[in-house]
Structure 1
Amino acid sequence: MTRIAVIATGGTIASTATEGGVVATRTAAAVLEGAVFDGIDIETHDLMTVGSYRMTLAHLRAISDAVASLLRRTQDPVDGIVITHGTDTMEETALLLDLVHDDERPVVLTGAQRAGDAVDGDGPRNLADAVLTAAAPQCRGLGALIVFAGRILPARGTRKVHTTALDAFRSSAGGDLGTVADGTVTVGAVPRRPAPLPRPSAAFEDIRVDLIEMYPGADDVLIGAAVSAGARGIVLAGTGIGNANPVVVAAVRDLVSADVAVVLSTRVPEGPVQGVYGDGGGADLVAAGVPTASGLPATQLRILLALWLSENKADAARVRSMIATYADMKTHNREE
């Protein structure tokens, strides 16, 4: 019999309506109530019960540690893991788990857009699909996955693209890996996955990496505030193909020489990040020593940078090499 562990962390899938708004309250057993799977034995673990908008890097590390503990278990070993999670920051947790995943067994994240007590909730279907995916032999070796609205998505490059739609997630680099329909799991592509990074240590919980978005009239105030607060890294979500302005470029140039890692992303959902424009644009940022990153959304890029900086110094050459390996479009899906 296939054994799947379900780790509950909260989120909308575990939420009910209260006078103060929708709040995560339900246990893993409650979320799974009534679900029956032929040939699959389910075990449940209640790790935390929070909305993912409240999560910190400490929460993400706790989830990573729980996954590692289950994968190390030799008595009654699991064949796959499902994590129920809020959708707001699912993309961040999924990316962390994928970066450090060194096992063939699937780790699948899912959740819901409608509360657990909604009469037309999407949680039961998503959870059933996630369990089937975690148990499917064809999903071994795919790393961490997000299963939502019948789609099987790679952790890397996947982001939430709609606030309320049931089909809320899309991959910005390579598309879906497969589908779950009528209880059948179909996989048509596999992700290109670089060697795993070390699992997060206690240092990961305290590392500060800020995400700063560019906009008309942006100056260096937020950058300076981030550095004053102790930021060891900054992800710039540039406009367009990856642009800023002369004031920001000047501020960033000082940071590069001050051992603060700066990486250039974009606020645009899809497309490459390149140093094309001068006069304060991406070409000037690249000339100042800032690497570009095209394969991950800025939210996930922040997690990658935080994990790496928690164990490494902000050496410009090594940061550039790390970005090329773990945050480049070439690391994403290829057809089987």
Structure 2
Amino acid sequence: MSVALFTLGGTIAMAGHSTDNGGVVARLTGAELTAAIPALADLGVPLDVRDAHAVPSANLTFAQVLEVVDAASRAVEAGVVGAVVTQGTDTLEETAFLVDLVWRHQEPLVVTGAMRNPTLAGADGPANLLAAARVAASPDARGLGALVVFNDEIHAARWARKTHSTSTAAFASPNAGPIGHVIEGRPRILARPDRREPFLQEFVTGPDASARLGMTRVALHTATLDDDGALLDGLEATHHGLVVAGLGVGHVSSDLAPVLGALSQRIPVVLTSRSGGGSVLRHTYGAIGSETDLQRRGLVNGGLLDPYKARVLLRLLVANGAGRDEVAAAFGRLG
């Protein structure tokens, strides 16, 4: 038995400085990362270290993340008790949710990283990696799907968000809070959310998944003050879906509402909130541009999913050929 560790670069793996601008550059391997954490020797199971894509998380693609999911799945089938993925934090909330949508095993897959690179005082990467490995090795974490472990907090991937650009406590779950903590080296699961069935597993592991994802474009538009929707002109010709980050509980201006309604007749349009927490409502307000009006025009209610997670889900759905009814059903189940 062992824990599989997949490294994807990011702040946690940065060391040294470039000669051009003095900024840190990514160069640490998984073996170098683990060598800096002597306490991993007390984990109870060995780490099977595998270097994957050493790129900033802003450069990660759906296809690359799904490659790691496939490799982690094969590792579980070969006998590992859990998996850890280290990556940059910029897109971590999206990649963790993507993993959670397709992860089919009882063994946990834990995603972590760092906010302070190893050249800084108080670098948090070693502590985060150690905590993540402890969670991945814990029998108590079975059946929880993909998890995000940061700052000794354990978050369900479907709720975790990056809420600060620099703090070591950057990750939180605004709608639910952490489901557990790592206390004196021991993972303690305090809440066990219902585990939904993995989503589109056959599609994700199919031979043409990368090609279909590569051809699928889903846009994200954030509603703002005095937004007339001009930026969306012609979007249906270039994109296959749209997520709207609406104001408050899911509102837009009266000028933007008909633009979104017209788009929803051509491509799936999902309504979310830009607020950072809380749900889109369904039938509280009735003015033009309200959640009730927008749903009447054909927009799909995104529920509790934030705009970034909604875009991940919509892209998977559209790439799999889902129509509006299937999109609405999926968001009704997962949002």
Whether the TM-score (by the shorter chain) exceeds 0.5 is: yes
CA contact (8 A) 2:218 2:315 kept: yes
Q: What CA distance in whole angstroms lies between the structure 2 residues aligned with 1:7 and 1:177? A: 23
Q: What CA distance in whole angstroms lies between the structure 2 residues aligned with 1:300 and 1:61? A: 16
Q: What CA distance in whole angstroms lies between the structure 2 residues aligned with 1:91 and 1:277? A: 33
If asked which structure has higher relative contact order (CA below 8 Å, sep 6+), I would say 1
| Shift of residue 175, structure 1, vs aligned partner | 1.3
Q: Which amino acid aligns with 1:266?
A: S
Which residue, out of 278, 289, 293, partners 1:284?
Answer: 293
Q: What CA distance in whole angstroms lies between the structure 1 residues aligned with 2:62 and 2:236? A: 19
Q: Which moved more, 1:17-26 or 1:85-94?
A: 17-26
1:207 aligns with 2:216: yes
1:29-50 residue CA offsets vs partner (Å, 9 max, x unmatched)? 1111132332220111111111
Q: What CA distance in whole angstroms lies between the structure 2 residues aligned with 1:32 and 1:116? A: 13
Q: Which moved more, 1:60-69 or 1:97-106?
A: 60-69
Match of 1:321 in 2: 329
| Shift of residue 172, structure 1, vs aligned partner | 2.6
Structure 2: any 5+ residue segments left out of the alignment? none
| Shift of residue 192, structure 1, vs aligned partner | 1.8
Q: CA RMSD in A?
A: 1.5
CA contact (8 A) 2:15 2:25 kept: yes
Match of 1:129 in 2: 131
Structure 1: any 5+ residue segments left out of the alignment? 328-336
Q: Which moved more, 1:37-46 or 1:197-206?
A: 197-206
1:154 aligns with 2:153: no
- Indicate the percent of aligned positions where both proteins have the same amino acid: 33
Aligned in 2, Cα 1:175/1:50: closer, same or farther, shift over 3 Å? Answer: same
Match of 2:315 in 1: 306
Match of 2:4 in 1: 5
Which residue, out of 108, 111, 114, partners 2:113?
Answer: 111
Aligned in 2, Cα 1:249/1:17: closer, same or farther, shift over 3 Å? Answer: farther
Q: What CA distance in whole angstroms lies between the structure 2 residues aligned with 1:225 and 1:61? A: 31
1:124-154 residue CA offsets vs partner (Å, 9 max, x unmatched)? 0000000000000000000000000010000
Match of 2:193 in 1: 191
Helix, strand or coil at the partner of 2:2? strand
Match of 1:266 in 2: 273
Q: What CA distance in whole angstroms lies between the structure 2 residues aligned with 1:145 and 1:177? A: 9
Q: What CA distance in whole angstroms lies between the structure 2 residues aligned with 1:60 and 1:248? A: 34
CA contact (8 A) 2:135 2:187 kept: yes
Q: What CA distance in whole angstroms lies between the structure 1 residues aligned with 2:299 and 2:16? A: 46
Q: What CA distance in whole angstroms lies between the structure 2 residues aligned with 1:180 and 1:22? A: 29
Q: What CA distance in whole angstroms lies between the structure 2 residues aligned with 1:113 and 1:308? A: 32
| Shift of residue 101, structure 1, vs aligned partner | 1.2
| Shift of residue 62, structure 1, vs aligned partner | 2.4
CA contact (8 A) 2:223 2:252 kept: yes
Equivalent positions of 1:1-80 (< 5 A) are: 2-19=1-18, 20=21, 21-35=23-37, 36-38=40-42, 39-73=44-78, 77-80=79-82
Match of 1:88 in 2: 90
Q: Report the TM-score when normalising by structure 1.
A: 0.91
Q: Which amino acid aligns with 2:41?
A: F
Q: What CA distance in whole angstroms lies between the structure 2 residues aligned with 1:55 and 1:222? A: 26
1:48-81 residue CA offsets vs partner (Å, 9 max, x unmatched)? 11111222223222222222232333xxx21100
Aligned positions, number: 320
Q: Which amino acid aligns with 1:176?
A: P
1:248 aligns with 2:256: yes
1:68-118 residue CA offsets vs partner (Å, 9 max, x unmatched)? 232333xxx211000001111001110011111111001000000011232
Q: Which runs of 4+ in 1 moved over 4 A?
A: none
CA contact (8 A) 1:61 1:204 kept: no
Helix, strand or coil at the partner of 2:134? helix
1:155-214 residue CA offsets vs partner (Å, 9 max, x unmatched)? 002110000010111113321110002211101111222211123222123311111100
1:181 aligns with 2:190: no
1:14-37 residue CA offsets vs partner (Å, 9 max, x unmatched)? 012423423322111111113233
Helix, strand or coil at the partner of 2:270? strand
